[in-house]
Structure 1
C-alpha cells in the first residue's frame, strides 16, 4: 500500500462527501439568501456548518445531456480548456469507483486582492437520479507550492439531472464552500465567489457549444 492509499480511505471519503451533498440538495432550507441573480443563473448563500464562511448554492439550466456536462466539470482533459479561473490541474492519484486525487491552482481575483490559490482535492463522480453527481473535498496532502496560498474546499459538488419535459436540457446545481484562507475581507470573498459561480455557467455553456 503506497503513501497515498494509506493517507486516503477513498471509499469512506466518497461515501461521506456524497451523503453530505445529497443532504444539501434535498434540504428545503429557509436560511438561503440570494447573493447574485442574473437572467439565467441564481446564487444563494447561507452560513456553512463546516467553517466560518458561507455555503453557496447555485443553479442554472444548460442545453446539453448530463454526461457531457459533467465530463467538462470533473477532473479531466476538458476543464482547463474553458475554466478561466483554473490555471493548472494535475491528477496525482486514481482510485476505484470513479474517484481521484487532484492538485489544481486558481488565478488571482479582484485585481489580485485574492492571490492565486492551490487546492488538493479528492474528487468523486457517481450516478444520481438519471443524471450525475460530481463532488469533492480538500485533503491535507503534500507540500504547499511557493507563490500560492493553500485553500481548502469543504464538501462541494455539482448535481446535473435532465429536465423531465425537455430531455435535451439539464438542471445544473452546485454547492460550494471554499475556505480561501489568508487575511481576506469577507465582502471580497463574497463578491469573488458570486461572480465566479455566475461566470462558471457562462464559460461552461460557451464551451459546450463548440
Structure 2
C-alpha cells in the first residue's frame, strides 16, 4: 500500500509545481472558452499539456464527472474513455484504476490501456485536486489487444471562481506516453484536438449529467 500512497503523493506534489510554473509554455489552441498550451515534459520524451477554462458548475459537480468509478459518469461523457475500472481502493481518497481508450484518428492510434494511482483531495480554499500517475499492479498485467500506455503526473485542479460560486476554474495537466511506434506529429495532433474535445464534453456533462 505504501508505494501506491507514495506515488500518489508525488503526483500531487508535481501537480502543484506545474500549477506554479508559468515559464516556457507555448500556446497551441485558444478560444473564447479555453486555452491549451504545451512544453517538453521532464518526465519522458514527449510533451506536457495545460488546459485552462471555466466550467458552468460548482467544483463538487465537476468532481462527480471526473472521479474514478466503475461504470461511472466518466464513461458516459469522455469519448477517450471506453471503460474505467477500479482495480483496488487504497483508502477513501486513493485508488488504482485501469482506463481503456478506444482507437483514434481513424484507427491510426490503436486501443490503449493505462494503469494509474489516483488521489483526490480538497484544500481549505475549496479547490479539489485529482492527481494521477502510472503504476504497476499484480492483478492487472498488460492485456492482449491493447498497447499499455503510461500517464506521468497529471490531473486537474477544480477551483471555485471568486464571486461566482456556481462556476469552476479548471486547470488540467496531461502528459501521456501512448507508447507504440507513433510519429510525434500524430501524437501532437491527437492531443491538441482531444483536449479541446475533453473540455467541451465536460462542460456539457456538468450541466446535463449532474443533478
- TM, length-normalised to structure 1: 0.93
Q: Deviations over 1:136-178 (max 9, x none)?
A: 0011233211111000000001000011121111110101100
Aligned ranges for residues 195-206 of structure 1 at < 5 Å?
195-206=193-204
Q: Which runs of 4+ in 1 moved over 3 A?
A: none
Secondary structure at the counterpart of residue 106 of structure 2: coil
Give yes or no for the alignment of 1:39 onto 2:39: no
Mapped contact 1:67–1:131 kept (Cα < 8 A): no
CA distance in 1, matches of 2:207, 2:8: 31
CA distance in 2, matches of 1:36, 1:127: 29
Aligned ranges for residues 90-169 of structure 1 at < 5 Å?
90-128=85-123, 129-141=125-137, 142-169=140-167
Mapped contact 1:137–1:154 kept (Cα < 8 A): yes
Secondary structure at the counterpart of residue 196 of structure 1: helix
Unaligned runs of 5+ in 1: none
Secondary structure at the counterpart of residue 93 of structure 1: strand
In the alignment, what sits opposite 2:170? Answer: 172
- TM, length-normalised to structure 2: 0.92
Unaligned runs of 5+ in 2: none
Secondary structure at the counterpart of residue 64 of structure 1: coil
In the alignment, what sits opposite 1:28? Answer: 22
CA distance in 2, matches of 1:114, 1:124: 28
Give yes or no for the alignment of 1:12 onto 2:10: no
CA distance in 1, matches of 2:65, 2:37: 23
Pairwise CA distance, 1:97: 4.7
In the alignment, what sits opposite 1:189? Answer: 187
Alpha-carbon RMSD: 1.2
Secondary structure at the counterpart of residue 21 of structure 1: helix
Pairwise CA distance, 1:125: 0.3
